[in-house]
Structure 1
Amino acid sequence: MFQATLLLVCYNRLSTVLVSASFVVFFGESLKPVGPLRNYAAVSFANIAATACQFEALKYVSFLVQTLVKTGKLFPVMIWGTIMLKKKYKFRDYAAAVAILLGVTIFLLTGEVTARSQRIVPTLRYGYASTGALLLILHLGFDGFASTFQDKLFHSHQMSSFQQSLHVTLWSSLLSFLGLLLKGELLPAVSFVLRHPDILVDMTLLSIAVFNVLRTQCT
């Protein structure tokens, strides 16, 4: 079984770097960073953490649960927006966020939530579900921070979505690669890919999808 979550992150971030750099050159934009490097690094760290938690959660909870929980992103985005951008939301906005949160909670308390691979050990289902839920909560928190901080960058500096995507994913590629080294997962992950080269097709398709999501967040 493939287990190297950070390799997926590193591969799709490197792919995004190549595509973003190509568009930046094509549109005649500057390859140099417009904003402070620490700001790109902050977005990058949050982005990597969010993606890693999202992928890792699939080992414990079903894809349906993950998709449903992600609809609750509104709540952390509102919290980060209040803290970083000093935004003020109307009562109906808070009501909508709470309603979504309650709906997700009801589903999680009444339906099957564990990943199919974990259902073979019934006594551990609640432990798996709890781990998956924690990872999804962390995903929402980091993802909300990344989206809000990207919005702040656009307000503070004049940059295109491709420029921001390029420099954020450059940092992401470096950080995820360092994570693979520190966790000792790089060589086993590369060895797995060499033994099962068909996985590159899936990783590439995933990278294309992730690139579209990242650019949408940067727009």
Structure 2
Amino acid sequence: IMSGGLLLYLKPRRSKSTIIYEYSFPSISNMLSSWCQYEALKYVSFPAATLFKSFKLAPVMAMGKMLGNKEYPQYDYVVALFIGLGITMFMSGSEDLEFGYDVHGEKASAAWTGVMLLGFFLFFDSFTSQWQSRMFQRHRDLSMIELMFATSAFSTVLSFITLVHSKELGPALSFVVQHSEIHLHFFLFSICSTIGQLFIFYTIKNFGAVVFAIIMTTRVLLSIALSCILYGHEVGSTGFLGLMVVMGAVCYRIKRKAEGKQLIRWQGIGDEKAMELVQEWHEHADM
């Protein structure tokens, strides 16, 4: 509804070359990535899940090679390697990753399930960004608002079909009716989500990807710190060192990307750069 309202208000040019089924692919992958992301929180801590998302550089590069035959600078591969090393150190120092069994013969740790779900999240999320970039490359008349609306519309329809098929539509509606206070939560969530995406687009278009990457990296650190303080997540010395390795690798990549470029770009980029905008958005937005 929110993206539809924006479409009517902003009235961007309509794409005449896109085929409607093309929007379904990023919609499905986006739904699957969201499910994996939230389901993983049942098995791993929020700091671990947040830091794990920093590794999305590797699957994004792999998917870019597969779908778009893209080339990446050598330092990206080195950064991805160090991020993976840092995440491994953090997970081993903060999560129970043992495969042992308790006295009842059940697995003592389910953290590996969370790791697997986060891996699927990275896969589906990287596919979403690369497919959308591919759409912008193939359809030069496609606007960001139209893509946002079409993807959201497909997600709404597919979510409805899923609820009906799984027989969860009735219980879901019953829950919404019985708990009227959730209406405000839904409304605020939709407003914040839509406005947040617009701010992301605006930041990348007007200030550049480097500034956006710095903001998102700072957000990761603050999110992990607040989660540890508020919910008592314990991070050992190995985990802390792993966190520093990941943040150091991310900051090094930001520095390399900023070389020879103006840090803050006050003049926005045009729609012809929409493919680059989507790439940067997916690379950092869920960190």
**Cα distance, 1:164 vs. partner?**
0.3
Per-residue Cα deviation, 1:184-204 (whole angstroms, up to 9, x for no partner): 211112222222222333333
1:110 to 93, 103, 112: 93
Match in the other structure for 2:149: 166
Greater RCO, CA 8 A, separation 6+: 1
Q: Quick one: distance in 1 between partners of 2:16 and 2:190?
A: 23
1:182 to 128, 150, 165: 165
Letter in 2 for 1:143: D
Q: 1:125 to 1:162 in 2, by over 3 A?
A: farther
Alignment partner of 1:139 is 2:116: no
**Cα distance, 1:124 vs. partner?**
5.2
Asked if structure 1 preserves the Cα contact closer than 8 Å seen for 2:14 and 2:143, the reply is no
**TM-score, scaled to structure 1:** 0.79
Alignment partner of 1:151 is 2:103: no
**Cα distance, 1:33 vs. partner?**
6.8
Match in the other structure for 1:70: 53
Asked if structure 2 preserves the Cα contact closer than 8 Å seen for 1:33 and 1:167, the reply is no
Asked if structure 2 preserves the Cα contact closer than 8 Å seen for 1:81 and 1:148, the reply is yes
Match in the other structure for 2:112: 130
The CA RMSD measured in Å over matched residues stands at 2.4
Q: Quick one: distance in 1 between partners of 2:197 and 2:40?
A: 19
Q: 1:61 to 1:210 in 2, by over 3 A?
A: farther
Asked if structure 2 preserves the Cα contact closer than 8 Å seen for 1:61 and 1:132, the reply is yes
Q: Quick one: distance in 2 between partners of 1:72 and 1:204?
A: 32
Q: Quick one: distance in 2 between partners of 1:24 and 1:32?
A: 13
Asked if structure 1 preserves the Cα contact closer than 8 Å seen for 2:2 and 2:190, the reply is no
**Cα distance, 1:75 vs. partner?**
0.8
Can you give the 5+ residue segments of structure 1 that lack an aligned partner in the other structure?
Answer: 1-17, 115-122
Q: 1:188 to 1:198 in 2, by over 3 A?
A: same
| SS of structure 2 residue aligned to 1:126 | coil
**Cα distance, 1:51 vs. partner?**
0.9
**Cα distance, 1:152 vs. partner?**
1.0
Asked if structure 1 preserves the Cα contact closer than 8 Å seen for 2:15 and 2:143, the reply is no
Q: 1:105 to 1:46 in 2, by over 3 A?
A: same
Match in the other structure for 1:200: 183
Alignment partner of 1:55 is 2:62: no
| Alignment coverage as a number of residue pairs | 193
Letter in 1 for 2:78: A
Alignment partner of 1:41 is 2:24: yes
Asked if structure 1 preserves the Cα contact closer than 8 Å seen for 2:23 and 2:151, the reply is yes
Q: 1:85 to 1:32 in 2, by over 3 A?
A: closer
Alignment partner of 1:26 is 2:4: no
Match in the other structure for 1:4: none
Per-residue Cα deviation, 1:30-86 (whole angstroms, up to 9, x for no partner): 567751122101111111111111122222222222211111111110001111111
| SS of structure 1 residue aligned to 2:95 | coil
**Matched residues, percent identical?**
34
Q: 1:156 to 1:44 in 2, by over 3 A?
A: same
| SS of structure 2 residue aligned to 1:60 | coil
Q: Quick one: distance in 2 between partners of 1:144 and 1:26?
A: 30
Asked if structure 2 preserves the Cα contact closer than 8 Å seen for 1:51 and 1:139, the reply is yes
Can you give the 5+ residue segments of structure 2 that lack an aligned partner in the other structure?
Answer: 98-105, 202-276, 282-287
